[in-house]
Copies of this chain bind each other. A is one copy, B any other.
Amino acid sequence: MFPWKSCCRSLTAPVAATLLWMTLSPAAESQRVPAATLPFAPVLPQSVAPALMPLPASVERGTGTMRLDQNFKIVLEGYREARLDRAAARLQERIERATGIILLPQATGAQSTLTVRTTRASKPVQALDEDESYTLEVTSAGATLTAPNPLGVLRGMQTFLQLIHQDTQGFVLDAITVRDKPRFAWRGLMLDSSRHFQPMPQVLQQLDAMEMVKLNVFHWHLSDDQGFRVESHRYPKLQAQGSDGRFYTQEDIRKVVAYARDRGIRVIPEFDMPGHARSWFVGYPELAALPGPYNIVHHETVDDFEHPDPKQDGAMDPTKEQVYRFLDGFLGEMTALFPDQYFHIGGDECDGKQWDATPHVQDFMKAHGIKDDPALQAYFTGRLQKLVTRHHKIAIGWDEVLQPDTPKDVVIQSWRGQRSLFQAASRGNRSILSAGYYIDLNQPASQHYLVDPLVLPPFNPNDPTGKGVEVPTHLTPEQEASILGGEATEWTEYITPEILSNRVWPRTAAIAERLWSPQSNRDVADMYTRLGWVAHELRMQGIENGGLLQGMTERLAGTTGIDHLMVLAAMVQPPVDYTREVAGQAYDQLRPLTHLADSIPAESDTARHFAELAHAVATGTATAAQHVEARAWLTLWADNDAALAPMLDRTALTIELQEPSRNLARTAIIGLQALDRIEGHGKGNSENTAKQQQELETFDKLTPAALRNMAVAPVKELVAAKP
């Protein structure tokens, strides 16, 4: 019997553990030990004080507090526009959601007022160079937000929201002066709506969350091999035949653009060309180098050895004038739909297989002295870029488009490696960083957080960018200024709508801080503390994030008695990088993503906590309490499989969990032996240690359930530790 329906599902787990304990000491009255004898004090709840993220450029604490109650009101002064009214209404609504306070529209005798002063309009289409600065002053008499234009107001309002916290009297803001502006002008989130279509509510939700952490570019990956996602009136077969019926209408697009503008966010569409374009060819096979017919592919196409057909990852035909005429017409329609000055043309991973297999393309290359596929792509990009310019837009492309003769106004988006940023800078091209910000790869927030657009990481031979080219190690101030910022990227091979926000957030907030806040903020522990509170703030605004998705887990294993499954779920993580196919789960748009691997967050807090604990134990810096706690965790896992295994034979999705459950138990048992040795009441020898390390290696492999055993690394550290 599972005693509690919703969140705190594992309230039977303490009972199970208590029972474990009680079976040891059958005497009745003496069994009860007051909790005061617990070997360490209960952890106090995290500060209910504000957790700013991104951290502002400058903060000065004052004295006193401003109380927030039902009479709080926002007063707009100076320049006015409807967007500001909506922003004020939205802030009020967010305050109501965050605090539960019901604000009165006719607040009288208001003791707490946020006065907003702004001077002038921002540009009709939000531009890259706009001022986003603001000053927010909170005193016990009220708060004042001053900004040169509405963009700064939008940013400052989110800071105001994050400053609200509780004391024993209710909700308050501490007196403070925040003077703030972003470090980088381009702070984005890229969403891939092609590999898995993401419906409108999910799209709008990303914009809501982006506003909260001051991101300002929504880069929308709208076409790829697996789906063309925008309605074209001019070429209706694009969506009619290339989308499985899952696409955005032009009305949807206009709604997203307006919704984003309200939140100070630019919308940059990407139509990936000339590769990653197979979905175009279903309706318009004449665009491809090889003749049709084409179908939508639902699997991965690049480097797809199972489907070596060059048509699988078909490329546009760079030799045909009709292709450029088509694209001219297409760009005419799409550049009118998306008002932003920038337009993304993709350009990544065109492997040239189809061109190599097409005689007339080969003839063309010979006739025009084009020596290889990259040069042919450069020719295509040059033609395409001219069309983009003709439609009054600036082209952006993935780092492959950076070639010696790439026009200087093309913006380079680095995805394969950070060197391309510096290379672009040295060539006079502007650029943005995404290498290191691939949130689809399930890396921890700390890893993304420490990637800095202006700091070249140590040389990595696997970074294909800047190969054979001299890359400067230091940039001039002008060159530094050409690095505009960065974008977190969410590719959606393994992301269905029900998973999206849970994986994008809260980790993207750490990237948002990197791009907004002063470079000197690099304290990972502090970042995680604040990130935990930001995750809560996002949740209060309806953005479920970074936790176990309860519904999915219930779907997997039922609604009752799943506490032992939760114990396992807390200590596994989904595959990092592109390793999920190693588990036999290669991307297939039609594969249900209903595994435990899909319902867990990218990063387990339990795992991070235990790793810290084990490190303290292994390095001899642990307190007695930490030793006891480490043992308790290991014991929990060591015993969990015996209880969990009998439940796992019901459905296909639980059968695959048998192996990870066994592995976790076995890992924990090794950990307990290591702990015994470290604590001096077990014996160890080097042969034994080697054997254990070997066994742990096998548990470190991805299981067919696509789960990483997060106990392995810390237990390895325990095994390797000197007693």
Contacts and interface: CB of A to CB of B under 8 A. Distances in A.
A295 to B, nearest CB: 10
A170 interface: yes
Contacts of A10: 8-11, 13-14
B4 A606 contact: yes
Interface string A80-117: 00000000000000000111111011100000000000
A520 interface: no
B632 A19 contact: yes
Interface in A635-658: 635-636, 638-644, 646-647, 649-653, 655
Nearest to A552: B100
A3 B570 contact: yes
Given A3-B609, A561-B43, A643-B35, A548 B8 contact: yes
Interface stretch (A130-138, A179-187, A407-415, A534-542): A534-542
A431 interface: no
A640 to B, nearest CB: 7
A500 to B, nearest CB: 13
B25 A24 contact: yes
Interface stretch (A256-264, A301-309, A573-581, A585-593): A585-593
A34 B639 contact: yes
A158 interface: no
Interface in A1-44: 1-25, 27-29, 31-39, 41-44
A70 interface: yes
Contact of A672 (B32, B244, B632): B32
B100 A593 contact: yes
A689 interface: no
A628 interface: yes
A496 interface: yes
A594 to B, nearest CB: 4
A182 B639 CA distance: 50
A240 to B, nearest CB: 11
B102 A592 contact: yes
B4 A23 contact: no
Contacts of A636: 14-15, 18
Contacts of A635: 18, 22, 31-32
A17 B646 CA distance: 23
A504 interface: no
B559 A640 contact: no
- Residue of A8, A28, A632, A676 with highest tally of chain B CB at under 10 A: A8
A649 to B, nearest CB: 8
A547 B45 contact: no
Given A546-B6, A605-B4, A638 B32 contact: yes
B29 A560 contact: no
Contact of A539 (B2, B13, B550, B655): B550
A554 B536 contact: yes
A219 interface: no
A355 interface: no
A13 B13 contact: yes
A685 interface: no
A555 interface: yes
Contacts of A42: 16, 561, 564, 643-644, 646-647
A322 to B, nearest CB: 28
Interface residues of A, number: 132
Contacts of A28: 631, 675-676, 679, 681-682
A435 interface: no
A39 B24 contact: no
Given A11-B606, A21-B21, A4 B548 contact: yes
A44 B561 contact: yes
A616 interface: no
A676 B548 contact: no
Contacts of A13: 10-11, 13-14
Given A10-B8, A496-B100, A559-B532, A15 B629 contact: yes
A330 interface: no
B652 A170 contact: yes
A569 interface: yes
A604 interface: yes
A169 interface: yes
A587 to B, nearest CB: 13
Contacts of A18: 17, 20-21, 632, 635-636
Interface string A550-572: 11111101111110101101100
Contacts of A547: 4-7
Contacts of A642: 34-36
A628 B551 CA distance: 31
A46 B606 contact: no
A337 to B, nearest CB: 24
Contacts of A592: 99-102
A48 interface: yes
Contacts of A535: 5, 559
**9 interchain residue pairs of minimum CB distance:** A6-B547, A21-B21, A45-B558, A100-B594, A3-B606, A43-B561, A35-B642, A105-B245, A13-B14
12 contacts: A4-B547, A6-B544, A7-B8, A8-B9, A8-B10, A10-B10, A16-B42, A21-B24, A23-B39, A168-B655, A536-B559, A539-B551
Interface of A: 1-25, 27-29, 31-39, 41-48, 70, 97-102, 104-106, 166-170, 244-245, 496, 498, 532-533, 535-536, 539-540, 544, 546-555, 557-562, 564, 566-567, 569-570, 589-590, 592-594, 598, 601, 604-606, 609-610, 628-629, 631-633, 635-636, 638-644, 646-647, 649-653, 655, 672, 675-676, 679, 681-682
